[in-house]
Amino acid sequence: DDHPVKTKQCTGTVCGEKVDVLCSRYANRVFIVATQYDKIGMLLEVAPDAPFEDETQTFSTRFVMGHSEDLMTDVFAREVAKRVMADSGQPTPVLLGLSLRQYSPEMVRGTLEMVSGARVW
């Protein structure tokens, strides 16, 4: 495939519920959607606070569209960015679309595993 945007998608079951994941690698960022509603949902931007160094890296999150009072959405966003940057070795910003029914620790862990399985970075 010679398309400049590399994309992978997968569907799985997490906590007994269907979850769809789409990961796309652009020249300047990674775009990830995790949804149970076939919609992008809230959109978050996650970027490293400093050049990527190790597991102690900190990240800033910003809601581009929508918002959530659930702290697990922020945990999820930071964990996704941490995995992307650890795997790529680059300080790659992440644009993350989230539309999940719940953000329990089990849902977050399972969905993170799906994201890792659809890696394009």
Per-residue pLDDT of the chain (121 residues; tens, 9 = 90+): 678 899 999 999 999 999 999 999 999 999 999 999 999 999 999 998 876 566 677 899 999 999 998 999 999 999 999 888 888 888 889 999 999 999 999 999 999 999 999 999 8
What is the phi/psi pair of residue 120, to 5°? Answer: -125, 5
Neighbours of 67 (CB within 10 A): 10
CB 98 within 8 A of CB 34: yes
Instruction: Take residue 23 and report the two structure tokens written for it.
Output: 């990961």
Residue 119 DSSP class: -
- Please give the backbone phi and psi of residue 112, each rounded to the nearest 5 degrees, phi first: -60, -40
Report yes or no: 10 and 74 within 8 Å, Cβ to Cβ.
no
Contact 82, 59 (CB under 8 A): yes
> Full-prediction pTM beyond 0.85?
yes
